[in-house]
Amino acid sequence: MTARLPVVVVISGSGTNLQAIIDGAQCDLPIEIRAVISNRPGVYGLQRAEQAGIETAILDHREYPDRESYDQALIALIDSYSPKLVALAGFMRILTADFVRHYGGRLLNIHPSLLPKYTGLHTHQRVLDAGDSLHGASIHFVTEELDGGPLIVQAQVPVEAGDDANMLAARVLQKEHQIYPLAIRWFAENRLILDENGDVRLDNKRLESPVLFTPLESIG
């Protein structure tokens, strides 16, 4: 049996991807969520963690004078739980280079677009405005480039006639809840690494492109 990988999840909001990770951990995902940390007090994601019996912590960014001092405090807090993986799940802050380097190769993020398209915010509306036929979600290792780290896995959804941003977001979110636990599983089972050259390796093979699930493919 695979040992359970210690994980810290960092959030800013309602925590739907956090819930997907919690549900996986309560089933057969071989991880131990040691803590859920939020930069915003009172968000629903903290309640999700508490309901699952997971320790929570709040580190309010408004109490720090700058990004650097906040990130140093966040590093100290995360490291107090000794995780081997840090999962950003809707953490709405741009991270400093020092933070990213500290967790190099063990920091994952989810982004609601088919990267490298549509980095940053408001991805669903931007897809609609561009008239794209496909949208989706991406899991990547975090590097110093915003939403630009090496890609691991993506899932596509069709853009349907009559979609608005909320409808499209809901469809993408369903895929997010599937691919994030999958990537975490690969990492926990030592199948997924970021090598010394900055390349993603899955099952000892360098990924030339991310694992891609088309709209008709089941994920898992």
Nearest to 93 by CA among 76, 106, 74, 80: 74
Is 111 marked active-site?
A: yes
Catalytic position from the list 111, 124, 135, 140: 111
CA distance 33 to 31: 6
- Residue given tokens 């008709």 in the structure block: 216
Dihedrals φ, ψ of 134, to 5°?
-130, 145
Q: What is the helix, strand, coil percentage profile of the chain, to 5? A: 35, 25, 40
| Structure tokens belonging to residue 110 | 């989810």
| Structure tokens belonging to residue 162 | 């009559």
CA distance 25 to 202: 21
User: Annotated active-site positions, please?
Assistant: 111
